[in-house]
Amino acid sequence: MIFACTSWLLIHRILMNQGFTFRRRGLSTDTKVCLLIGLTTSIWTAAVVFSEILSAPSDGVMQRQVSTQIAEAPLLAQILFCFWLMSWIDGLASESRASRSFRFWNLSSVNGAFDWEAGLSTSFYLALWTCILLIVAFPALYAVLRGSTTTGILNIISCAIFFLGGGAHNRYVHARHRYAEDMLRVSLPTSHHEGTVYVLPSSNRGFDAVWTPKVANEHLEADNEAMTLFRNMRSGRWSPKEPLERLRTILARYHQRLRIEPDDVAALARWLYRDLSANPVMSRIQCQRAPNVHLIGRDLIYALCHAEYIVFMGQGQISRELQEKLSTLRLMSRSGAARVGKEEVQTIGFRRGYDGYREAVRYVYSLFDQDVDESALNFANTPPPRYSSAIAGKSETIDQYVDELWSLCLEHTESTFTALYMFTTVWFIEMGNTNGFHIFPLRCLNRNGDLISQQIVWRQAWYCCIIAQLVAVSPAFYTAFVAGYLQ
């Protein structure tokens, strides 16, 4: 018992210091930790049960003694592990369903990363309650009646702590969150407690959008840099240099979170540079497009900036042929990176005026094998803003405004996507969601979330459970302390 409790505390310390790693092909840190705790709990419970059965008398006293001593097993954690295991298997199975819905879980009604009870379906939650009452609370009450007052009362208290949320909020939302392999999540800037996260394409999946509660550590860069940029732009206290400066900070800190293999960098590069050997799966949009909205939206371009930066920083892990295509999307004269081989004549979109903007737009559509929406190229029916703080004046026509704004973006950015990001950010501030523009054109299929989001919310359940279980087994700690002191 002491070994198991010490292991739980050690896991908590490691996670707070080292953080979590998300992946799909392998097991995420959340899954590994839950399986480790569950395995430890199962061994502990089995040891208590079998030791009492083997040591109990062969007469009728055996049943009463086993019923009393079973209260010393970590039954609360054991039950939660069984229910977590069912939800985890259901989450794996949901990936093969067209609707990607869970049978036991739904994040649409979850109010933040700590509201795990609201995520469980009603029947699943009632089943959890029933099992804890029948297996933990009633045996604990029986133990009290049979004379094991301390053990029984502490188990009853542990049940109360668990269901009343006596464990407070877990601190894992502040632990470092890393991304690996095919789970490259890009947290979109939001002021709400939940929102959409974009998942970059990988060798076995296309571009995706999932619903998730807002996790503090995941949104550090978006909150500190992007949201600050938006506030400055709304108030008019910004310069054309600020978007790229803040975006660079976001991308650099995001890259520190990655645990990505060379093959994954190469796959992302082949998709971005439209290489003939690219996996066509990566060009699929696995989420849904918003109606009457084109693809040139601020947050989609924000995610593409992350993808291009991953390849740029990982250029030493890709082939020479792919390295030679870096200048396709990045102006190498501003990047500070050494040139390899023959550089492209001109980076896509780096032509002043309307023609450069249209070239960049067409390239974005080609990444997703989509026909270009006319609303993304022409703005004939849209009046220009009365005054533009970006170009410090008023344009006579919308074409003139687009022409001048795109030329300004090229002067203060270093890649196709960073130019588009500045353009779409200014457009949203000065024009709003007009002419087919919207800040996030790709939406999640539903608000059920995905397996990663589900595991994030499960942390609060495990946190409360472990605290409650430690209360129930506290006599074991006291006994070990006394035994050690007397020796």
> What does the pLDDT read at residue 481?
57
Examine residue 469 and state whether it is found in any structural domain, yes or no: yes
418 and 271 fall within a common domain? yes
482 and 394 fall within a common domain? no
Examine residue 229 and state whether it is found in any structural domain, yes or no: yes
Runs of H (alpha helix) within 19-58: 29-55
The angle formed by the CA atoms of residues 175, 178 and 184, to the nearest 5 degrees, is: 140
pLDDT tens column, 286-332: 999 999 999 999 999 999 999 999 999 999 999 999 998 999 999 88
Angle, helices 416-430/398-411, rounded to nearest 10 degrees: 130
What does DSSP assign to residue 182? Answer: T
> What does the pLDDT read at residue 110?
87
Q: Is the pLDDT assigned to residue 224 strictly greater than 50?
A: yes
Examine residue 196 and state whether it is found in any structural domain, yes or no: no
396 and 428 fall within a common domain? yes
Report how far residue 176's alpha carbon sits from residue 360's, in angstroms, rounded to the nearest whole number.
35
Examine residue 183 and state whether it is found in any structural domain, yes or no: no
Report how far residue 81's alpha carbon sits from residue 45's, in angstroms, rounded to the nearest whole number.
12
Q: How far is CA 100 from CA 103, 116, 186, 286, 357, in A?
A: 10, 19, 20, 11, 36
pLDDT > 90 fraction of the chain, expressed in percent and rounded:
45
Cα-Cα-Cα-Cα dihedral of 126, 150, 7, 171, to 10°?
60
Mean pLDDT of 135-152: 78
400 and 467 fall within a common domain? no
First to last CA, the chain: 19
Examine residue 342 and state whether it is found in any structural domain, yes or no: yes
How does the average pLDDT of the chain come out, rounded? 85
Q: Is the pLDDT assigned to residue 106 strictly greater than 90?
A: no
Strand bridging mode 258-259 / 288-289: unpaired
Residues with Cβ within 8 Å of 249's Cβ and at least 6 positions away in sequence, in order, are 221, 225
For residues 482 and 376, the model is more confident at 376
Under a CB-based contact definition with an 8 Å cutoff, are residues 457 and 119 in contact?
yes
Q: Is the pLDDT assigned to residue 146 strictly greater than 80?
A: no
Neighbours of 17 (CB within 10 A): 9
309 and 435 fall within a common domain? yes
Report how far residue 35's alpha carbon sits from residue 41's, in angstroms, rounded to the nearest whole number.
10
Report how far residue 400's alpha carbon sits from residue 260's, in angstroms, rounded to the nearest whole number.
43
Split at pLDDT 50, 70, 90, the class of 92 is confident
Report the Cα 56 to chain-centroid distance in Å.
Answer: 50
Mean pLDDT is lowest, of 34-48, 301-315, 430-444, 469-483, for 469-483
What does DSSP assign to residue 461? Answer: H
What DSSP assignment string belongs to 101-165? Answer: --SSB-GGG--STT-HHHHB-HHHHHHHHHHHIIIIIHHHHHHHHTT-HHHHHHHHHHHHHHHTT
Under a CB-based contact definition with an 8 Å cutoff, are residues 70 and 134 in contact?
no
382 and 471 fall within a common domain? no
Report how far residue 193's alpha carbon sits from residue 448's, in angstroms, rounded to the nearest whole number.
15
454 and 430 fall within a common domain? no
pLDDT tens column, 23-66: 666 688 889 889 999 998 888 888 877 776 666 555 554 454 55
Q: Which two tokens stand for residue 175?
A: 């632990």
Examine residue 199 and state whether it is found in any structural domain, yes or no: no
342 and 465 fall within a common domain? no
Half-sphere exposure of 269 (CA within 13 A, CB side): 27
Examine residue 48 and state whether it is found in any structural domain, yes or no: yes
Closest CA to 181 of 305, 310, 316, 284: 310
Split at pLDDT 50, 70, 90, the class of 476 is low
Report how far residue 273's alpha carbon sits from residue 421's, in angstroms, rounded to the nearest whole number.
18
Mean pLDDT of 65-88: 81
Q: Which residue has the tokens 């790709």?
A: 442
* Domain boundary, last residue among 402, 418, 439: 439
Examine residue 93 and state whether it is found in any structural domain, yes or no: yes
141 and 234 fall within a common domain? no
Closest CA to 119 of 465, 468, 443, 448: 448
> What does the pLDDT read at residue 15?
65
Closest CA to 91 of 454, 445, 444: 454
Mean pLDDT is lowest, of 41-50, 136-145, 334-343, 458-467, for 334-343
170 and 282 fall within a common domain? no
Strand bridging mode 194-199 / 185-187: antiparallel
For residues 97 and 481, the model is more confident at 97
Q: How many domains, the chain?
A: 2
Helix or strand run (H / E) with residue 395: none
Mean pLDDT of 213-242: 91
DSSP helix/strand/coil, 442: strand
Half-sphere exposure of 357 (CA within 13 A, CB side): 22
* Domain boundary, last residue among 439, 458, 474: 439
Split at pLDDT 50, 70, 90, the class of 268 is very high
132 and 270 fall within a common domain? no
Q: Is the pLDDT assigned to residue 8 strictly greater than 60?
A: no
pTM recorded for the entire structure = 0.88
pLDDT tens column, 327-370: 999 988 877 655 554 444 589 999 888 899 999 999 999 999 99
Range(s) of the domain holding residue 16 = 2-174+450-486
Residues with Cβ within 8 Å of 246's Cβ and at least 6 positions away in sequence, in order, are 225, 226, 228, 229
310 and 225 fall within a common domain? yes
